[in-house]
Amino acid sequence: MKVLIAAGGTAGHVVPALAVADALRADGHDVVFAGGERAEAELVPAAGYPLRTLRVEGISRSNPLMAARAVAKAGAAFFAARKLLQAERPDVVMGGGGYVAGPVGAAAVLARIPLVLTEADSHLGLTNRALARFARRVCLAFPIEGRGGKRYLVTGRPVPPPVTDRAAARERFGLAEDDTCVLVFGGSLGARTINEAAISAFAGASFHVLHACGSRDYPSLRSRVPSDTYDLREYIIPFGDALAASDLCVARAGGSIFEIASHGRPAVLVPYPHAAADHQTSNAQWMVRAGAAVVIPDAELTAERLAREVGELLGDPGRLRAMGRASAELARPEAANVIATELVAAAAQR
């Protein structure tokens, strides 16, 4: 079987799509990606998959001119996607999220190629809302109110297999067995409010900090590293090593919370306040209700607040262990295989 996966924009869309691709490849299926020129341009080829690029961009919610340009590009990308499908002749198409999934998914519907969609957040994105009625299956990371029936299936968010060799992961970052490590991250671009708060909050920390700050803020932060125990990096690839090496995570609350859960890590979450339908707050509350995380609203995030919350958690090992166990119970390690099975079934129905 040949599968075309349309996913791009951010690592939050690409990483889950790669997990599904790996599950398909393990069963002998052929996978090709369609994407743009952002995170997918590096991550997809590095994972060993061909990437067919389309010129497309996200629709701005604040700038009408940029939004109009994005709509025009999406129209052109639709015709490019039709040609791509004619050339690749996939048996099924997966819309993995991001702006590229719209034109490719629409082209698949028009060509009567089975379409399966995946949604990584607690809110159905614009592309998935538009295409859901045409999809054979919509695989959800979370239950979403109003999205029930046989078309929708709650699978969890697919993530790479967790790193289980904690000792080797800690060795990679120069951590001793008894060192305490707090992992700070905020996506491929980074999270400016978290970056600024963390580098001030942990200036005199007695524990180690492993901070993946992203490409945007790295140049301004690298001259402000407060100590030898503060390890600032632009990116960490593969990222599972960082999760395995850590004792506590400080992060946004996008789809990466499933990676946190897969490694059984407790978390301090700072939801991105401008996410569509405020879905990151809903994501974070899912972990809070399970007892796996605490939340600091972005507007309330200060260096002092972050230092206090992290200090209280690290000072209570029993609570930290309980949060870690609760986090692990939220993991859905079978998600990638379940979605791969849905793709195979959709192709067979054709």
Domain ranges of the chain: 2-159+333-349, 166-330
**Distance separating alpha carbons of residues 97 and 104, to the nearest angstrom:** 11
CATH code, 2-159+333-349: 3.40.50.2000
Nearest to 210 by CA among 224, 198, 192: 198
**Distance separating alpha carbons of residues 94 and 322, to the nearest angstrom:** 37
- Do 197 and 301 contact (CB within 8 A), yes or no? yes
Give 276's contacts (C-beta < 8 A, 6+ positions apart).
121, 123, 125, 126
**In the structure encoding, which two tokens stand for residue 115, read together?**
């379409």
Q: State pLDDT tens for residues 202-246.
A: 998 999 999 999 988 999 999 999 889 999 999 898 899 999 999
15-24, 144-153, 177-186: the lowest-pLDDT one: 144-153
**Distance separating alpha carbons of residues 225 and 129, to the nearest angstrom:** 43
DSSP for 205-253, please give it.
Answer: -SSEEEEE--TTTHHHHGGG--STTEEEES--SSTHHHHHH-SEEEE--
**In the structure encoding, which two tokens stand for residue 93, read together?**
């198409």
- Asked if residue 238 has a cis previous peptide bond (ω within 30° of 0), the answer is yes
pLDDT at position 276 is 78
pLDDT at position 12 is 79
Nearest to 277 by CA among 131, 137, 128: 128
Question: Which DSSP state fits 162?
Answer: P
What superfamily would CATH give domain 166-330?
Answer: Glycogen Phosphorylase B; (3.40.50.2000)
Q: State pLDDT tens for residues 305-321.
A: 999 999 999 999 999 99
Biggest CA-to-CA distance, the chain: 61
- Do 252 and 214 contact (CB within 8 A), yes or no? no
How high does pLDDT run on average in the chain?
A: 91
**Distance separating alpha carbons of residues 213 and 307, to the nearest angstrom:** 18
Section 167-176 average pLDDT: 97
pLDDT band at residue 68 under the 50/70/90 scheme: low
Nearest to 244 by CA among 229, 259, 228: 259
pLDDT at position 72 is 59
Section 60-64 average pLDDT: 57
- Do 292 and 273 contact (CB within 8 A), yes or no? no
Burial of 161 (0-12, 13-18, 19+ CB in 10 A): exposed
- Do 19 and 336 contact (CB within 8 A), yes or no? yes
- Do 182 and 209 contact (CB within 8 A), yes or no? yes
pLDDT at position 65 is 61
Section 75-79 average pLDDT: 79
Section 145-162 average pLDDT: 90
pLDDT at position 185 is 95
pLDDT at position 64 is 61
pLDDT band at residue 3 under the 50/70/90 scheme: very high
Nearest to 179 by CA among 250, 228, 229: 229
DSSP for 262-325, please give it.
Answer: HTT--EEE---TTSGGGHHHHHHHHHHHTTSEEE--GGG--HHHHHHHHHHHHT-HHHHHHHHH
**Distance separating alpha carbons of residues 133 and 140, to the nearest angstrom:** 14
- Asked if residue 90 has a cis previous peptide bond (ω within 30° of 0), the answer is no
pTM comes to 0.83
Q: Output 67 or 282, whichever has higher pLDDT.
A: 282
Section 163-191 average pLDDT: 92
Domain 2-159+333-349 and domain 166-330, same fold? Reply is yes
Residue type at 338 in one-letter notation = V
pLDDT band at residue 281 under the 50/70/90 scheme: very high
pLDDT at position 123 is 79
Give the N- to C-terminal CA distance of the chain in Å, as an integer: 12
**Distance separating alpha carbons of residues 176 and 22, to the nearest angstrom:** 32
Nearest to 199 by CA among 189, 260, 299, 210: 210
Section 243-258 average pLDDT: 95
pLDDT at position 154 is 95
